[in-house]
Chains A and B, each alone.
Chain A
Amino acid sequence: MDITEYIKLVFTDYTLRTITLGTAILGAVTGMLGSFAVLRKQSLLGDAISHAALPGIAIAFLITGAKDSNILLLGALISGLIGTFWIRGIISKTHLKSDTALGLILSLFFGFGMLLLTFIQKQPNANQAGLDKYLFGQAATLVESDVWLMSIVTGACLLVLLLFWKEFKILLFDADYTKTLGFNTKFIDILITTFIVLAIVLGLQTVGVVLMSAMLLAPAAAARQWTNSLGVMVFLAAIFGAFSGVFGTAISASQNNLSTGPVIVIVAGVFVLISFIFSPSRGLLFKQIRFIKNRRDLQLHKTLSFMYHIAETHENISHPHAIKILNNFQGYTKGTLQKLVRKNYVKIDGSMWSLTSEGFKTASNLYNQQTEDNE
């Protein structure tokens, strides 16, 4: 199947269109909210919440006996919130650290959820099949009403973000200052946490409990590399998330036996990898290039200052010297000499070199001031 054909199919085929739209919206909303989770150093909270939502799904099913996805998600939301606030309680009231609290709630809630799920499976209720799709997610089960729900939540989330933008931003970077300004930090905190939980719960059906945390983190971590501005980061994260959803769906649809959730996560992972390597200001590649450049610069300066010390001993600074005497000097290469010549610091005459007056001046001021024409 080639690309144009696939794009045509996205617009005509109901299932494919629903899934593509659903995963794109999901990626956008988790990317947006994930930015806050990453910057608040709560990256693993997503993992804990998504696991903690499982017993809620099971209990909601046990109570209603029906598999209405909205009610199940409501159960997941409540149980996820309980898990989140219990984690906070453990961290603030006991000496257990945040990682222990996260791991504890994650595994205990998940285990309890599994107990309930296996218990439900033994019940004589024909309805129960398919509850385990929440474990690993099945994008194929998305229907139009799910997409509508996602869009509504995304719209609400956007509205709240715009409305409380300044509060969220200031709480993110200076919580104490926010308090002194008279903002109700508890309320803002609960608001943003609730939306993060809501986004996670929405994604459970599509990518599942286990992989949900990556959906939250990966777009945000990738976006973080490209900018230092919160607004741009949230926007970029939403774009990365949406594209992970679209590409992930396309790749899994074009192959057999490829579930959508893991593919989306891997696509998001590729975004992160590219961002880590190629981001201009923070990326590993440019960091390495800058590092090498600085080292070369330093070597050039070292050679120049070595020449300067030799030239100093003569009355005429342009007194020629043999190139040979440079050979024992570390950091000297033919390349650096050529570079110095090109900068008009040094003149070469056969096998002899001499400093120009410009080179002498630069060398004498080398460690006194920042020269502007550095490499």
Chain B
Amino acid sequence: MSSAQIEIQLIASLVAIACAIPGTFLVLRKMAMISDAISHSILPGIVIGFFITQDLNSPLLIFLAAITGIITVVLVEYIQKTGLVKEDTAIGLVFPILFSIGVILIAKNANDVHLDVDAVLLGELAFAPFNRLLIAGVDVGPKSLWIIGCILLITIGLLFAFFKELKISTFDAGLAASLGFSPAVIHYGLMTVSSVTTVGAFDAVGAILVVALMIAPAATAYLLTTNLKRMLVYAICFGVFSAISGYWLAHWLDASIAGSITTMLGLLFLMVYLFAPNKGVIAVLYREKQQRTEVSLLTFLLHLRNHSEEEERHVNHLNEHINWQKVRSKTVLELALKNNMIVIDNHIVSLTEKGKDFTSQALDYIITNEDSKIEHMKDDFFLFRG
């Protein structure tokens, strides 16, 4: 590995960490789309900043672009407050218009601006190591490494300083306000950090990857845990893993680094989305199927309890009268037999003692609808899953 390669991976990892922290809170606060809006609408800020400074890495440019980000948030909230359109429409209106202004500004001044819309949206991480920061003539490393490093340090500092406030205002804004933390300050603080991170990272990885790095690791982590600290740690790990593996994927395919990092994030999310232990799609579908069977079983047992006449308790009756398919009636019968709820004697089904007990408990719960009965039932239902 050459030193340029190490530097690229280092920058990508730092960006991933810097994005994962505000991203986690954005996802939890249901504001993920705001990050997308910010990433687009900083364009006019960058262009105007570039006119003034003529340097893509100048702090003034980052400052101006971050202000555009805040303006976006304020505008969206203002339009939303007028009640003329819904919040999502407000977001969808503001950022394309600001983005269009940026594109037109670039196009009108194409001769003086060495700035490309592609570059802003997509970035080019591969060139990042060539832009060195010289302090008193000494090469101290790539500029973007320093910029993103500074942003990351500030983000981590703010996270540790205001972790409690962030946590409480995210999960219970009303409580936070009544305890004396201003939700508005925390809200705009978070927006500022997101905007600064987006601006700081766009040069290296492009605005779209920033959105991906903010939302995807946090969403993936959210499927695996409900603990905020753990979610933050998972999100950071996923981000860094994708950054480094994405770099090597790009190296191998000879394609855009930002694109391959996003692709790795996508694959990671797909895996977790399908296979997460409790909240993955497969787990959810399995649980839904189990619940369906359990409900069927309960209906079946109650039916048996209510009918003493033999023709109502014949095995074939399941298909005819309760309108179940063959497969389903077979699973239900087997499940009931396995748990010794019923006995089948010459195709006539009858309840055992255990089955009777169970149905009376179930009836009891259905009639009283008391919570204390649920706990008990949960244990019983758990039996069937085994």
Q: Interface residues, chain A, CB within 8 Å of chain B?
A: 38, 41-44, 46-47, 89-90, 93-97, 99-100, 102-104, 106-119, 122, 132, 135-136, 210-211, 213-214, 216-218, 221, 224-225, 257-259, 261-263, 265-266, 269, 272, 276, 282, 284
A90 to B297, alpha carbons, bound, how many Å? 30
A89 to B279, alpha carbons, bound, how many Å? 12
Provide 21 A-B residue pairs closer than 8 Å at the C-beta atoms, listed in order of the A residue. A47-B36, A93-B285, A94-B280, A96-B223, A100-B218, A103-B214, A106-B211, A107-B262, A108-B212, A108-B262, A109-B266, A111-B265, A116-B259, A210-B96, A214-B100, A218-B96, A261-B103, A266-B97, A266-B101, A272-B93, A282-B84
A113 to B93, alpha carbons, bound, how many Å? 24
A residues less than 8 Å from B101 (CB atoms): 262, 266
A193 to B352, alpha carbons, bound, how many Å? 52
A residues less than 8 Å from B260 (CB atoms): 115
Determine which of B27, B209, B218 lies in contact with A111 in the assembled complex, contact meaning CB atoms within 8 Å: B209
B211 lies within 8 A of A214 (CB)? no
Supposing A44-B92, A258-B104 touch, asked if A104 and B262 sit within 8 A by C-beta, the answer is no
A114 to B250, alpha carbons, bound, how many Å? 11
A282 to B79, alpha carbons, bound, how many Å? 13
Q: Which 3 residue pairs spanning A and B have beta carbons closest together?
A: A111-B262, A115-B259, A214-B96
A211 lies within 8 A of B263 (CB)? no
Supposing A104-B215, A107-B208, A262-B104 touch, asked if A276 and B84 sit within 8 A by C-beta, the answer is yes
Determine which of B27, B36, B89, B110 lies in contact with A106 in the assembled complex, contact meaning CB atoms within 8 Å: B36
Supposing A90-B273, A258-B104 touch, asked if A47 and B265 sit within 8 A by C-beta, the answer is no
A136 to B215, alpha carbons, bound, how many Å? 24
B255 lies within 8 A of A94 (CB)? no
Which residues in chain B, 233-292, are within 8 Å of chain A measured between CB atoms? 250, 253-256, 258-263, 265-266, 269, 273, 279-281, 284-285
B residues less than 8 Å from A266 (CB atoms): 97, 100-101, 104
B residues less than 8 Å from A113 (CB atoms): 259
A108 lies within 8 A of B82 (CB)? no
Supposing A262-B104, A263-B104, A266-B101 touch, asked if A94 and B265 sit within 8 A by C-beta, the answer is no
A51 to B216, alpha carbons, bound, how many Å? 15
Q: Which residue of A lies closest to B100 (CB)?
A: A262
Main SS of the interface on chain A?
helix
A107 to B223, alpha carbons, bound, how many Å? 18
Confirm or deny: B191 has a beta carbon within 8 angstroms of a beta carbon on chain A. Answer: no
B269 lies within 8 A of A108 (CB)? yes
Confirm or deny: B193 has a beta carbon within 8 angstroms of a beta carbon on chain A. Answer: no
Greatest chain A CB density within 10 A among B110, B215, B280 is at: B215
A residues less than 8 Å from B117 (CB atoms): 136
A217 lies within 8 A of B100 (CB)? no
A135 to B208, alpha carbons, bound, how many Å? 12
Confirm or deny: B345 has a beta carbon within 8 angstroms of a beta carbon on chain A. Answer: no
B97 lies within 8 A of A115 (CB)? no
Greatest chain A CB density within 10 A among B101, B216, B223 is at: B216
Determine which of B33, B84, B218 lies in contact with A225 in the assembled complex, contact meaning CB atoms within 8 Å: B84
Supposing A97-B30, A115-B260, A118-B255 touch, asked if A107 and B92 sit within 8 A by C-beta, the answer is no
Shortest distance in angstroms between B321's beta carbon and chain A's nearest beta carbon? 25
Determine which of A44, A115, A136 lies in contact with B103 in the assembled complex, contact meaning CB atoms within 8 Å: A136
